[in-house]
Structure 1
């Protein structure tokens, strides 16, 4: 009894590896998980959306002193140009996440992009501060795309690689903000604050058509579920083949025994 326990313990230890400090650890798989090319394409498109949305959030900051002079408003009123954007984004983010579960993620992503493009166009043609604040509030709906984007990459990427996709999209927050402050300041200085909105309109329209054409989302699709099904299917096939081989070997043995019996009789 003691020997059998020791044998089991030794078998378990053999399945582990040792590090330099003679400690056991589970070795990494020899077959690393591969990320599908389609998942990379989806990640690039969603990262572009994140960059554009964060660019729109910060592009108007260098123009606030100009807007105060043009519209003859106080600093308190001018703060609503950013506050309206953030409040709308905070309110719409959970709502858009829920609606994407009900009506589909791609459909909601397209709707958000259309509304966002309308808000950007309104900002470019605004002639008073209140119209501009409303336009910024409509633009804030674009922030609601982030939970949808994260849910899309969660289904397209294998579980072990989700952190790569989420990290890439999250890094676009900072990248978009930097672009908004630097390029936005240059555009405002040389072309005026309205041009910051006009630069986003063609980009948002292009991304809208790219989403429609190149992102094909099955809301019932999940990478890990698909791999589990494929693994289960493969195991089932192997089990069937093993059973077939057993039956074949058994049948050959019976045939051989029958031939031996006939030979002995003759």
Structure 2
């Protein structure tokens, strides 16, 4: 392979899945980390929101940089920073240094934002939705297996073992990118500042806001579960870190199933992108509403709670590939900027959601806070999709196989 050869799909899956794994693999270790660093759980959980916020900032830069200088050098740089930051987290005993290292780990988000842009460089919207569904389905193994693996590593080696794993993972992804990730951006912009000046073209598009808002609040439900789920499950049902890691993967199991269904539909049925998004948002909202009502009636159980969480993941799997395809189809010549900007919005919404949940989180109210917050995320995503469907109908752009848009196309 050379730096001019397009990467294999497996490489993009690994880069995306590795970045997602960074979010939640160490989550079963949070209670132990809080004890070692001498802070309470709520304060320690804020590291998730801070990480997401930093990721949002990073992705505002990654997308335009890749539009100007190419996808390959930006991805290689991000993977190098992530590897060094993981090494710092592994060996520090100072909570401030840990926070610095953890925030620098957000450079791994380059794998998520630019993998989508690499796909958009090569495929039209309908085929892109199929490829995104495949990437989403397979990369879902990361957060599915991550908490379980993280819990086992924590029991064997302590929380530092998880960050040692991140270090090795970062080095492996850096080597893979160097070997296989050829450049796909053949229409680079004139300059970095020009890319930021082009943002208003994206921000003026109602379609961009519709797809990005639905996508952001759908993923925010996952981030809320990562933040509040460990305390809710451990306190309400007495789970240890190993068992907790297994059950934390239930939402991702639903996501994988939803992504598989989305890919099958994209290959066989000529549906609008918004149709599966609507179905996904409705399923997620209904499941969480039923679980919340059961809690209010005093009949919440582990199967019911996990069923609602898995249904939320299923809804996300139906939503995400189609929303991702829609975001980057709005302005194809700004695919990198659109990917980075939408990814930044996802992380910003996730940071605000998890930060708010972290401030309210105590053992006594962990379950209702979890359900209410996830339901709010689901309902906002549903409203955004309903609005987007009306926008698409008014503009006559409702087919999932819409031709590639030109610079002035809305």
- Tell me, yes or no, whether TM beats 0.5: yes
Query: What residue in structure 2 maps to residue 214 of structure 1?
Result: 180
Query: What residue in structure 1 maps to residue 38 of structure 2?
Result: 72
| Aligned residues of 2:12 and 2:111 also touching (Cα < 8 A) | no
Instruction: Determine if the alignment matches structure 1 residue 103 to structure 2 residue 58.
Output: no
Measure, in 2, the Cα distance between the counterparts of 1:139 and 1:166. Answer: 24
| Deviation of 1:141 (Å) | 2.2
Instruction: Determine if the alignment matches structure 1 residue 144 to structure 2 residue 110.
Output: yes
| Secondary structure of the structure 1 residue equivalent to 2:185 | coil
Query: What residue in structure 2 maps to residue 127 of structure 1?
Result: 93
Please give the root-mean-square deviation of Cα atoms over the aligned residues, in Å.
2.1
| Aligned residues of 2:47 and 2:99 also touching (Cα < 8 A) | yes
Measure, in 2, the Cα distance between the counterparts of 1:44 and 1:125. Answer: 31
| Deviation of 1:167 (Å) | 1.4
Aligned length: 184
Instruction: Determine if the alignment matches structure 1 residue 189 to structure 2 residue 155.
Output: yes
| Aligned residues of 1:50 and 1:176 also touching (Cα < 8 A) | no
| Deviation of 1:172 (Å) | 4.6
Structure 2 unaligned segments of length 5 or more: list them. Answer: 188-410
| Deviation of 1:158 (Å) | 5.2
Seen in structure 2, the aligned counterparts of structure 1 residues 94 and 172 have a Cα distance that, compared at 3 Å, is: farther
TM-score by length of structure 2 reads 0.42
| Aligned residues of 2:15 and 2:112 also touching (Cα < 8 A) | no
| Deviation of 1:89 (Å) | 0.8
| CA displacement, residues 231-250 of structure 1 (integer Å, 9 cap, x when unaligned) | xxxxxxxxxxxxxxxxxxxx
| CA displacement, residues 217-260 of structure 1 (integer Å, 9 cap, x when unaligned) | 14217xxxxxxxxxxxxxxxxxxxxxxxxxxxxxxxxxxxxxxx
Measure, in 2, the Cα distance between the counterparts of 1:141 and 1:201. Answer: 13
| CA displacement, residues 18-52 of structure 1 (integer Å, 9 cap, x when unaligned) | xxxxxxxxxxxxxxxxxxxx76x522101111111
Query: What residue in structure 2 maps to residue 167 of structure 1?
Result: 133
| Deviation of 1:101 (Å) | 0.8
Structure 1 unaligned segments of length 5 or more: list them. Answer: 1-37, 222-266
| Secondary structure of the structure 1 residue equivalent to 2:93 | coil
| Deviation of 1:164 (Å) | 2.0
Seen in structure 2, the aligned counterparts of structure 1 residues 52 and 187 have a Cα distance that, compared at 3 Å, is: same
Seen in structure 2, the aligned counterparts of structure 1 residues 75 and 218 have a Cα distance that, compared at 3 Å, is: closer
Measure, in 1, the Cα distance between the counterparts of 2:145 and 2:97. Answer: 25
Query: What residue in structure 2 maps to residue 205 of structure 1?
Result: 171
TM-score by length of structure 1 reads 0.64
Deviates more, 1:200-209 or 1:133-142: 200-209
Seen in structure 2, the aligned counterparts of structure 1 residues 95 and 49 have a Cα distance that, compared at 3 Å, is: same
| Deviation of 1:156 (Å) | 2.6
| Deviation of 1:82 (Å) | 1.0
Matched ranges for 1:4-15 at <5 A: none
| Secondary structure of the structure 2 residue equivalent to 1:203 | helix
| CA displacement, residues 51-97 of structure 1 (integer Å, 9 cap, x when unaligned) | 11111210121111111211111223202321221111112112110
| Aligned residues of 1:81 and 1:132 also touching (Cα < 8 A) | no
| Secondary structure of the structure 2 residue equivalent to 1:85 | helix
Larger Rg over CA atoms: 1
Instruction: Determine if the alignment matches structure 1 residue 116 to structure 2 residue 82.
Output: yes
Measure, in 2, the Cα distance between the counterparts of 1:168 and 1:178. Answer: 16
Instruction: Determine if the alignment matches structure 1 residue 92 to structure 2 residue 63.
Output: no
